[in-house]
Amino acid sequence: MARRSKSKAIARRGLMLVLSSPSGAGKTTLSRMLLTEERIALSISVTTRARRPGEVHGRHYHFIDRNRFDQLRKNGDLLEYAEVFGNF
């Protein structure tokens, strides 16, 4: 007879895939191919830095101010964050 674990099972909500490789290795090509699948979606990060030419809010990043970022961080709404060149 199989013995049941006394720990509670964690509800599975999905799978997170992180693509990491040197510049020019094909991350963008691979991610575009993966995004054609209906069950795969891109997670859009938030940033406090200024928008660069050609970037679209909600497509490349969610551009927010520092007060909104601090509120998200305080509420535990971010999985992770880092400060880079004075921006988050």
Whether residue 15 is contained in a domain is answered as no
The answer to whether 48 and 62 have CB atoms below 8 angstroms apart is: no
User: Greater confidence, 11 or 25?
Assistant: 25
**Does residue 52 belong to any structural domain of this protein?**
yes
Residue 43 lies in a domain: yes
* CATH number of the domain enclosing 40: 3.30.63
Q: Which residue, among 55, 58, 33, 30, has the nearest Cα to 44 in the 3D structure?
A: 58
Tell me the one-letter amino acid at 64: I
pLDDT tens profile 44-60: 899 999 999 999 999 88
Q: Which domain holds residue 44?
A: 27-74
Determine the pLDDT at residue 1.
47
pLDDT per position as a tens digit, 25-35: 988 898 888 88
* 16-21: average pLDDT: 82
Cβ-count burial 45-68 (b if 16+ within 10 Å, e if not)? ebbbeeeeeeeeeeeebebbeeee
| 61: pLDDT strictly greater than 50 | yes
pTM: 0.64
Q: Give the chain's domain count.
A: 1
In a domain, 1, yes or no: no
